[in-house]
Amino acid sequence: KTVCRGLGGFEGKKDLLYISDGLPMTPGEELFRLIDLQNPSGGGGTSGSVLNELHAFYRAPLFEELADHAIAADVTLHTIDARGLLTEHDTTADRRFEMPVTIGYVKARNYQEPLRYLSAQTGGIAVVNTNQFRKGLTQIEEAITSYYSLGFRLGARGNDRVHSIRIELPNHPDNRMRYRRQFLERSDASLVADRTMTGLLMDPLRN
């Protein structure tokens, strides 16, 4: 959020490339589900008691807040899962235990869902579950260097206002569009605050 806030005062199109080994939507979800599979009765006739603890670790609101900060700063997030192509089994030579297929799927989904969400909300590209990183980077390069700008008139307002965006191409149903789902109409006060914050965190004249 600090990085997005620091970029908010810059003019023009801003893109961030985030590379990691995934971000869990619910940390430890695969472990909770594995325990439930191995001991469905909960050890004392309390079936499902382990899964009832999952909601305490659900992190979707934090990722929604991060996406909102990126949208407010006109930042597009491109995400890459550096683990590459994942299999549904999790087995190593030093272990005899083989992860059930369902748990492998849950783990992959859990770590990739936030990357897909952040990219989709901000109009970026998510490169996940693939070893074709060159292809993904080429797509990101094309997205950064080739794009359309759609303009529309806004009314004079003294406060910040969020606008939902929906674009349709009725005569081209086969075309896939990638765009930011929301737009923050910033007031003069917010624009001054963003430029001040950028000046404190970075050096716009040298960057």
pLDDT in tens, 29-44: 999 998 888 886 655 4
In the prediction, which pLDDT does 155 show?
Answer: 72
Token pair of 143 as six digits: 């997205």
CA 146 from centroid of its chain's CA atoms: 22
| 178-184 LR contacts (CB < 8 Å, sep 24+) | 178/123, 178/124, 178/125, 178/143, 179/123, 180/71, 180/76, 180/121, 180/122, 180/123, 181/71, 181/120, 181/121, 181/123, 182/68, 182/71, 182/121, 183/71, 184/71, 184/72, 184/160
**Residue 134 main-chain phi, psi, to 5 deg:** -60, -40
In the prediction, which pLDDT does 19 show?
Answer: 96
In the prediction, which pLDDT does 94 show?
Answer: 52
In the prediction, which pLDDT does 157 show?
Answer: 67
Taking Cα atoms as reference points, which of 110, 93, 112 lies closest to residue 31?
Answer: 110
In the prediction, which pLDDT does 46 show?
Answer: 46
pTM of the model: 0.80
In the prediction, which pLDDT does 97 show?
Answer: 59
Residues of the chain with pLDDT under 50: 44-47, 91-93
